[in-house]
Amino acid sequence: MVRIETDVDPTRRALVGERLQASNDDRSPVLQELRRRGDTQEVPLEVYAIEGAAMVAGLTAHTWGRWLHVDLLWVHEGRRGSGLGTRLLGRAEQVAREERGCVGARLDTWGFQARPFYEKHGYAVFGVLEDYPPGETEYLLAKRLD
Protein backbone atom coordinates (compact mmCIF):
# COMPACT_ATOMS: atom_id res chain seq x y z
CA MET A 1 0.00 0.00 0.00
CA VAL A 2 1.28 3.48 -0.91
CA ARG A 3 1.09 6.16 1.78
CA ILE A 4 0.99 9.80 0.59
CA GLU A 5 2.74 12.29 2.89
CA THR A 6 2.89 16.08 2.70
CA ASP A 7 5.37 16.75 5.49
CA VAL A 8 8.52 18.61 4.43
CA ASP A 9 11.48 16.25 4.69
CA PRO A 10 14.88 17.58 3.53
CA THR A 11 16.39 14.09 3.40
CA ARG A 12 13.63 12.75 1.17
CA ARG A 13 13.73 15.89 -0.96
CA ALA A 14 17.46 15.39 -1.55
CA LEU A 15 16.87 11.72 -2.40
CA VAL A 16 14.14 12.62 -4.93
CA GLY A 17 16.55 15.14 -6.50
CA GLU A 18 19.38 12.60 -6.69
CA ARG A 19 17.14 9.93 -8.21
CA LEU A 20 15.62 12.32 -10.75
CA GLN A 21 19.09 13.54 -11.68
CA ALA A 22 20.31 9.98 -12.24
CA SER A 23 17.23 9.17 -14.31
CA ASN A 24 17.65 12.34 -16.40
CA ASP A 25 21.35 11.64 -16.94
CA ASP A 26 20.50 8.16 -18.24
CA ARG A 27 18.15 9.68 -20.83
CA SER A 28 20.02 12.81 -21.95
CA PRO A 29 23.46 12.87 -23.55
CA VAL A 30 23.45 16.66 -23.07
CA LEU A 31 23.01 16.31 -19.30
CA GLN A 32 25.65 13.58 -19.24
CA GLU A 33 28.10 15.96 -20.91
CA LEU A 34 27.20 18.81 -18.54
CA ARG A 35 27.86 16.53 -15.58
CA ARG A 36 31.16 15.36 -17.08
CA ARG A 37 32.27 19.01 -17.39
CA GLY A 38 30.97 19.91 -13.93
CA ASP A 39 28.32 22.33 -15.25
CA THR A 40 25.38 20.91 -13.30
CA GLN A 41 25.75 22.82 -10.03
CA GLU A 42 23.71 25.96 -9.46
CA VAL A 43 26.22 28.73 -8.70
CA PRO A 44 24.82 31.91 -7.13
CA LEU A 45 25.45 35.23 -8.88
CA GLU A 46 24.48 38.42 -7.07
CA VAL A 47 25.00 42.05 -8.03
CA TYR A 48 24.12 44.98 -5.76
CA ALA A 49 24.16 48.77 -6.03
CA ILE A 50 25.17 50.34 -2.72
CA GLU A 51 24.90 54.06 -2.02
CA GLY A 52 26.49 55.06 1.27
CA ALA A 53 25.36 52.29 3.59
CA ALA A 54 22.09 51.60 1.75
CA MET A 55 21.33 49.08 -0.93
CA VAL A 56 19.47 50.90 -3.71
CA ALA A 57 19.23 48.03 -6.21
CA GLY A 58 19.93 44.33 -6.32
CA LEU A 59 19.91 41.36 -8.65
CA THR A 60 19.99 37.75 -7.52
CA ALA A 61 20.55 34.94 -9.99
CA HIS A 62 22.35 31.68 -10.48
CA THR A 63 24.09 29.96 -13.34
CA TRP A 64 23.41 26.37 -14.30
CA GLY A 65 23.97 24.40 -17.47
CA ARG A 66 25.79 27.38 -19.02
CA TRP A 67 22.72 29.58 -18.59
CA LEU A 68 22.09 32.59 -16.38
CA HIS A 69 18.81 32.35 -14.46
CA VAL A 70 17.77 35.77 -13.14
CA ASP A 71 15.67 35.23 -10.05
CA LEU A 72 15.10 38.76 -8.70
CA LEU A 73 15.87 42.31 -9.87
CA TRP A 74 14.81 45.24 -7.72
CA VAL A 75 15.57 48.95 -7.96
CA HIS A 76 14.51 51.45 -5.27
CA GLU A 77 11.51 53.36 -6.54
CA GLY A 78 13.33 56.69 -6.29
CA ARG A 79 16.19 55.34 -8.44
CA ARG A 80 14.14 53.74 -11.22
CA GLY A 81 14.97 55.18 -14.60
CA SER A 82 18.50 56.06 -13.46
CA GLY A 83 20.18 53.17 -15.29
CA LEU A 84 20.88 51.10 -12.18
CA GLY A 85 18.76 48.16 -13.37
CA THR A 86 20.54 48.24 -16.72
CA ARG A 87 23.94 48.28 -15.02
CA LEU A 88 23.10 45.38 -12.69
CA LEU A 89 21.60 43.26 -15.47
CA GLY A 90 24.55 44.05 -17.74
CA ARG A 91 27.08 43.12 -15.06
CA ALA A 92 25.30 39.82 -14.31
CA GLU A 93 25.22 38.97 -18.02
CA GLN A 94 28.91 39.90 -18.35
CA VAL A 95 29.96 37.66 -15.45
CA ALA A 96 27.76 34.84 -16.76
CA ARG A 97 29.18 35.11 -20.29
CA GLU A 98 32.85 35.93 -19.64
CA GLU A 99 33.55 34.15 -16.36
CA ARG A 100 31.09 31.26 -16.43
CA GLY A 101 30.78 30.53 -20.15
CA CYS A 102 27.02 31.02 -20.30
CA VAL A 103 25.34 30.98 -23.69
CA GLY A 104 21.99 32.44 -22.63
CA ALA A 105 19.93 34.09 -19.92
CA ARG A 106 16.37 33.52 -18.80
CA LEU A 107 13.93 35.07 -16.36
CA ASP A 108 10.28 35.57 -15.62
CA THR A 109 8.28 38.69 -14.88
CA TRP A 110 4.63 39.52 -14.30
CA GLY A 111 2.65 41.83 -16.53
CA PHE A 112 2.76 44.68 -14.00
CA GLN A 113 6.54 44.42 -13.56
CA ALA A 114 9.36 44.95 -16.03
CA ARG A 115 8.61 43.18 -19.31
CA PRO A 116 9.35 46.30 -21.45
CA PHE A 117 12.63 46.81 -19.56
CA TYR A 118 13.81 43.30 -20.36
CA GLU A 119 12.67 43.49 -23.98
CA LYS A 120 14.62 46.76 -24.33
CA HIS A 121 17.69 44.76 -23.25
CA GLY A 122 17.26 42.06 -25.87
CA TYR A 123 15.08 39.55 -24.05
CA ALA A 124 12.22 37.95 -25.97
CA VAL A 125 9.07 36.34 -24.61
CA PHE A 126 9.04 32.58 -25.16
CA GLY A 127 6.18 31.71 -22.87
CA VAL A 128 3.07 33.24 -21.36
CA LEU A 129 1.22 31.82 -18.38
CA GLU A 130 -2.19 33.42 -17.96
CA ASP A 131 -3.84 33.66 -14.57
CA TYR A 132 -0.63 33.00 -12.58
CA PRO A 133 -1.43 33.91 -9.92
CA PRO A 134 -5.14 34.35 -10.62
CA GLY A 135 -5.64 37.75 -12.20
CA GLU A 136 -2.02 38.18 -13.34
CA THR A 137 0.05 37.01 -16.30
CA GLU A 138 3.58 35.68 -16.05
CA TYR A 139 5.97 36.14 -18.96
CA LEU A 140 9.00 33.92 -19.53
CA LEU A 141 11.82 35.67 -21.39
CA ALA A 142 15.20 34.62 -22.72
CA LYS A 143 18.22 36.12 -24.44
CA ARG A 144 21.28 34.61 -26.10
CA LEU A 145 24.58 35.71 -24.57
CA ASP A 146 26.93 34.06 -27.07
At residue 54, the pLDDT reads 95
At residue 118, the pLDDT reads 98
- Please tell me the pTM assigned to this model: 0.87
At residue 31, the pLDDT reads 83
Q: What is the pLDDT of residues 15-70, one digit of tens each?
A: 998 899 888 888 888 888 887 887 778 899 999 999 999 999 999 999 999 999 99
The listed CATH number (3.40.50.300, 3.40.190.290, 3.40.950.10, 3.40.630.30) that belongs to domain 43-144? 3.40.630.30
Distance of alpha carbon 25 from the chain centroid: 22
Q: What is the pLDDT of residues 67-112, one digit of tens each?
A: 999 999 999 999 999 999 999 999 999 999 999 999 999 999 999 9
Number of neighbours of residue 68 by Cβ within 10 angstroms: 25
Cβ atoms of 92 and 68 closer than 8 Å: yes
Residue ranges of domains in the chain: 1-40, 43-144
